[in-house]
Amino acid sequence: MTHMKDRLTLKPQLSDFTALVLHHIVVLLLTHSCGGQLQLSGTSQPIVAMVGDDIILPCHLETAVDATGLTVEWTRPDLEPSVVLLRRDSVQLQHEDNPLYVGRTSLSTNKLKRGDISMTLSKVKLSDAGTYKCLVPKSGPESVVELTVGSVSSPYIDIYKVSNGVMLDCECRGWYPEPEVLWLDGEGNLFSAGPTETVRGPDDLYTVSSRVTVEKRHSNSFTCRVQQRTINQTRETHIRLSADLFMVQSSSAIRISICLAVCIVSVGAAVLVVWKWGRNKTKNTHSSTELQLLTDGEGNREKLVTKSEKITYLNKTKEKLDEDLQNNEGELQHVHQVITTLMNQKKDLKNQREKLTSQQQENKIKIEECKKKINNIPMFDRGNKWKKQGEKLPKLKNREKEHEEMLENTEKLLESTEEMINKMTERKGKLERDKEKIDKLLKETDREREEIQRKLQSEREEEVNHPITTA
């Protein structure tokens, strides 16, 4: 009886052991069928990812066996430590990962069950570019995946008026690897431009710029295209020029800036208001004098003998006050509009100043880069390279001078605008005070008119009720 009980107790344990043995037998059979090792497959084509993307680096067991319990390693040989992902005993061991990859690599549990051990890499960085190896220890050869990382942005175009046409300056920031810049006309045909200027920033991203001078064409449409063939990326910006730009002639380069043009117009409008204000100063002073006389006008009104004369005087005074109030409200509204325009202009000028300051700093970096390149050219190789850099440096210095002049003009306009805002605000305050004074005088004038009219009415009624008789 005891012997039978022991056999019943051992039965479930034997069952579990048998299942485990069968699992290992299946794995061994599959390994044997694959030439004695688990075979891995990946991709022969480079994987391209953009900065900030989440990307999957492919790796599969050629036989779709459950890989949940297998040890999986992903490494990058050029790093130390080289491990970017390690999974052992069904657990991902993040403490084994290279610090650059902690929390950014993972495997899919569902895919592992189908023999897919592809690695997901999150929030890709430029530094992630390189060769990755996928490995199941004690298996066949590792699988190799090449990752290429890129960064792109859209170009923008600045417009300059020059003596022989219009200059278009295309600039694009934040590219990797270094891209090329192409110019196309309205029909999509390429046309030649000056050499592309390239600056590599401290973040390893490239800023490229290219200038081209164009003449009047059929469509007046142009495209700046920035492309990078390695990562198969293209960005472009289209621009259509007004025919008027080609009719204006200038002996020197003039920056066409909408912001500055609007600013100049706004300042002109403000100056016109000030001129009008100065022109009417005498009239306004006269009105102010009349207001003062009306305020202290009790003495004048006492000199008027009859009530009828006083009413006539008050009626004229009311007409004058109504006219002054209408003029005051009209000028107050106009001054308010000018202040609003000047405030918007001040905001635009500050934005313009920031942009010019940024461009000035970038140009200084380009000048320093150009000087370094010139100094680093070997003596035996100072041919075309020397000439190319030597031609580029004067252009950069001319651009620096243009930026300085534009920044100086912007600062002057900003100073004038702030001064004009202060004057207009002061004028607005005076007009508001005058308006309050006129309103008060109108109320007093109406009250006095009504009081005199009541007295006149009362006297007339008295005369009717008590006529004067003579002997």
Between these two residues, 273 and 84, which has the higher pLDDT value?
84
Q: What is the maximum alpha-carbon separation in the chain?
A: 165
Question: What is the predicted pLDDT for the residue at 281?
Answer: 46
pLDDT in tens, 329-353: 888 887 887 888 788 778 878 887 8
Give CA angle at 285 (283, 290), nearest 5°. 95
Q: Given a cut of 60, is residue 262 above it in pLDDT?
A: no
Say if strands 165-175 and 206-214 run parallel, antiparallel, or are unpaired: antiparallel
| pLDDT, mean of residues 445-471 | 75
Edge-to-edge strands, sheet with 254-255: 197-200, 206-214, 165-175, 156-162, 254-255
Question: What is the predicted pLDDT for the residue at 25?
Answer: 44
With bands split at pLDDT 50, 70 and 90, how would you rate the model's confidence at 228?
Answer: very high
Question: What is the predicted pLDDT for the residue at 391?
Answer: 66
Question: What is the predicted pLDDT for the residue at 74?
Answer: 95
Question: What is the predicted pLDDT for the residue at 275?
Answer: 45
With bands split at pLDDT 50, 70 and 90, how would you rate the model's confidence at 276?
Answer: low
Q: Is 117 exposed, middle or buried (0-12, 13-18, 19+ CB in 10 A)?
A: buried
| pLDDT, mean of residues 91-113 | 91
| Of the listed ranges 211-220, 326-335, 382-391, the one predicted with least confidence | 382-391
Q: How far is CA 280 from CA 70, 275, 276, 327, 328, in A?
A: 93, 9, 6, 11, 12
pLDDT in tens, 424-452: 888 888 888 888 888 888 888 888 888 88
Residue for token digits 């940024």? 358
Q: Which amino acid is at 125?
A: K
Question: What is the predicted pLDDT for the residue at 384?
Answer: 57
Between these two residues, 31 and 324, which has the higher pLDDT value?
324
| pLDDT, mean of residues 207-215 | 89
Question: What is the predicted pLDDT for the residue at 290?
Answer: 46
Q: Given a cut of 90, is residue 381 above it in pLDDT?
A: no
Question: What is the predicted pLDDT for the residue at 387?
Answer: 57
Question: What is the predicted pLDDT for the residue at 383?
Answer: 56
Say if domain 156-256 classifies as CATH 2.60.40.10.
yes
Question: What is the predicted pLDDT for the residue at 195?
Answer: 85
Question: What is the predicted pLDDT for the residue at 450?
Answer: 84
Tell me the percentage of the chain whose pLDDT exceeds 70: 72
CATH class of 259-463: mainly alpha
Edge-to-edge strands, sheet with 105-106: 55-57, 119-121, 105-106
Between these two residues, 377 and 257, which has the higher pLDDT value?
377
Which CATH topology does 40-150 take? Immunoglobulin-like (2.60.40)
Residues 6+ apart with CB under 8 A from 392: 195, 197, 370
Question: What is the predicted pLDDT for the residue at 298?
Answer: 47
Q: Determine the angle formed by the axes of helices 384-465 and 258-279, rounding to 10 degrees.
A: 30
Question: What is the predicted pLDDT for the residue at 87?
Answer: 93
With bands split at pLDDT 50, 70 and 90, how would you rate the model's confidence at 56?
Answer: very high
| pLDDT, mean of residues 378-404 | 66
Which residues does residue 72 pair with via DSSP β-bridges, in sequence order?
87
Between these two residues, 26 and 379, which has the higher pLDDT value?
379
Q: Given a cut of 90, is residue 270 above it in pLDDT?
A: no
Q: Given a cut of 70, is residue 34 above it in pLDDT?
A: no
Two domains, one topology: 40-150 and 259-463: no
Most confident region among 15-29, 110-124, 451-465 by mean pLDDT: 110-124
Most confident region among 5-14, 57-66, 314-323 by mean pLDDT: 57-66
Q: Rounded to whole angstroms, how far apart are CA atoms 4 and 388?
A: 97
| pLDDT, mean of residues 53-67 | 89
Give CA angle at 267 (264, 271), nearest 5°. 135
Q: Given a cut of 90, is residue 183 above it in pLDDT?
A: yes
Domain ranges for the chain? 40-150, 156-256, 259-463
N- to C-terminal Cα separation, the chain: 165
Q: Given a cut of 80, is residue 16 above it in pLDDT?
A: no
CB atoms within 10 A of CB 238: 12
Mean pLDDT, the chain, whole residue set = 76
| Of the listed ranges 97-111, 116-130, 245-259, the one predicted with least confidence | 245-259
Question: What is the predicted pLDDT for the residue at 21?
Answer: 41
Q: Given a cut of 50, is residue 5 above it in pLDDT?
A: no
Q: Given a cut of 90, is residue 108 above it in pLDDT?
A: yes
With bands split at pLDDT 50, 70 and 90, how would you rate the model's confidence at 50?
Answer: very high
